[in-house]
Chains A and B, each alone.
Chain A
Amino acid sequence: MRRSERVSTSFGFLGVGLFCLVFADLSVSTLDPWQEMARMARGLVTPDFLAVDRLGEALLQTLAFALLGVALGVVAGFGLALVFHVRVVRWGCAFVRAIHELFWALLFLQMLGLTALTGILAIALPYAGIFAKVYSEILEEAGPRAADTLPAGSGIVSAFFFARLPDAFVHLKSYTFYRVECGLRSSAVLGFVGLPTLGFYLESAFKQGHYSEVSALLFLFYVVIATLRLWMRPRLIPVYLLIAPFVLAGGAEISLDNIVRFFTNDIVPYPLRSADVLDITAWTAFGTWTWELVADQALPGIVATLVLTQIALVGSGVLTLVFFPLVSRRFLGPVGRTAGHAFLVVVRSTPEYILAYVLLQFWGPSMLPAIVALSLHNGAIIGHLVGRFSDELALRPDHPRGLDLYAYEVVPRVYGQFLAFLFYRWEVILRETAILGILGIQTLGFYVDSAIAEIRLDRAMFLIVITALLNIAVDGLSRAIRARLRLATTPEIQ
C-alpha cells in the first residue's frame, strides 16, 4: 500500500509535467547549427591551456571561495541547526537558501563591490541555510532511542555530545563533503557575475567562441571535481583554510556608505524614494509600480518558472533512472563504472548554462534546451547519489541479472531514496531556472537579471523576494509529500 502511494505520486508528477508541456514552447528553429557545432567540437578536442589569462590564479580563487564559503556555511549552519526548532530561525534559513548564490552575489556586489567577502558570503549564506536544515534533520534522526534512555537530568550538552553527535557525525561528514563539490560548482559559477573564478573566463571564452579555451577550463574543472576524494582529506582542511585567505587577499575596499545606501536608497521602491511618508501621490505611484511589476513580470515569470521546473523535474527523474546503473557496482565492472563516473562528472560539472547554450545552437531558442540542460545536469547529480546508494544494497546470492535485476531487485529498493533525492532537488531546480534567462525564457530569474542590468535594485529586490517565497512554497510542498510518503527526510549520502 505504501509503495502504491509512491507510485501514484510519481505518476501524479509525471502527469503535471506532461500537462506543463502543453504550455512550454518546444519548437526547434535552428537552420544550420553545423558551422558553430564544428567549431565547438574542434575546440573540445584541442584544449588550449596556455591561452587562458591567469588560469592557475582562477583555479586557486575558485577553490578558495568554495572552501571558505562552505566552511563559513558549515559553522553557521551547525550553530543554527541546534536552534532550528525556533520558528524564526527556520524561516530565516528557508529564506536565505531560497535565493540562488548568483543573486546573493549580485546583491553583495552592490553593497561590497568586487571583494573577497562578496564571493564568500554569496556561498556561505545560502549554504548556511541549507546546512542548518539538513544538519538539524540528521541530528534529529540520529539515535533518538539512545537519547530516550539517558538518565533524567543528563544535561543538554552531555546528551547532545553522547547521544546525538556520534551517530550523526558520519552522516554530517558525508553530507558536508557532498556540499563541498556543490560549493566548487557554485564558486565557479560566481565567475559569471564577475568574481575572478573559473566561470569568469569560461563565460568570456564561451561568449567569444574561443572553444579551445572553453574546453581547457572545463577539463581543468572536471579534473578538480573528479579528484576531489583524493585531495579533500580531513587532515588537510585546516591547511587549506589557512591558505585560502591569502589567495583572496586584495580587491576593493569595503565602504560602509555603499552598504547604507543599498538599504536606505537602492532597494526602496522608486516612487517612495525621497518621498514623504504621508505623501499620497507617492503611495499611489507605489501602487502602480507594484501592480505593473506583478502583472508584467512577477506573474508571467512565476508561470514560466513553474512550467520549466515541473518538466525539468520529471526529466531529471527519468534521466536519473537511466544514469544511476552507469556508476553502480550492481550493473557494471570497474572499467564500465570508471567510464560511467567520468561521464556523470562531465555532465554534472558542466554549468547548466553552458549545456543550455550548446543545445541552443542545436535547436534554437525555446524552452527545449533549458529543459534538457536542467534534466541532464540534475539527472547526473541524483544518478550519482542513487548509484552509490545502490552499491550498499544487500542482494540475495541468486539474484537475477540484467534488466530483471534492474526492474525487480534494484529499482524497487532504491525507489524511496530516489524520490527523496528528487524531491530534495525540486527547489534546487526551481532556483536553477534563474540562470537560463539567456534563452529568452522569461523565468523570474530573467526579470531579476534584467532589473539588475538596468540597475533597478528596487525591482530586483522585489522579484527576488517573490522568487524566495515561491521557493519556500515548493520546499514546504516537497516536505509534506516526503512526510506523506514516509521518505527519509534526509537523503543518505555515501
Chain B
Amino acid sequence: MGFKRWWLVMVIFLGVGIVTPILGQSDLVFMGNDLSMTEMNTALMKDVFKARYALWPNGKSITVCLPGSKSVHAEKVAQEIYGKSIKDVQKFWLSVVFQGKAKSPYFFDSEKEMSDFIAKTPGAIGVITKSGGFTAPKSQLIKINP
C-alpha cells in the first residue's frame, strides 16, 4: 500500500470516527410545516434557530418553536443548538424580541402541543427529543445532514 492511499484511508477513517458519534448520538428531532424544504444542514438549522433569517424561501415567516424553559429537555436543546444554557437562551430571545429584530419564539411545555402548533402554523419549525417519548408525524420531520 502506497503512502498516499494509506493516508486517504486514515483521513476517511478519522472523519467517520468523529462525525458518526455526533450525528449518531444526537437526540433531537426537528419538525416543520411548509418550510419549502424537508432537509437542511446543521449550520442552516442553527442560523434559523438563532433568528438570523426571518423568511423561508417560499416567503413564509419563520416561527421558532422550542421546549419550555421548565421542560426536562430544554437544557439539552439549548446546549445542542445554541451551545448555551437555557437561561442564556432566554436572555438571547429577550434581547431579540425587545429590540424587535425578529419574530418572538414560542415555548411549549409538551411536545404534543408543539407538534399541534406546528401543524397549524405554516413556516413554523420546532425541535423535540427522541427520548421525550413523542413521535413526530412524518410529514413534519425535517432531516438534518441526511
Asked if A and B are interacting partners, one says no
What residues of chain B have their CB less than 8 Å away from a CB belonging to chain A? none
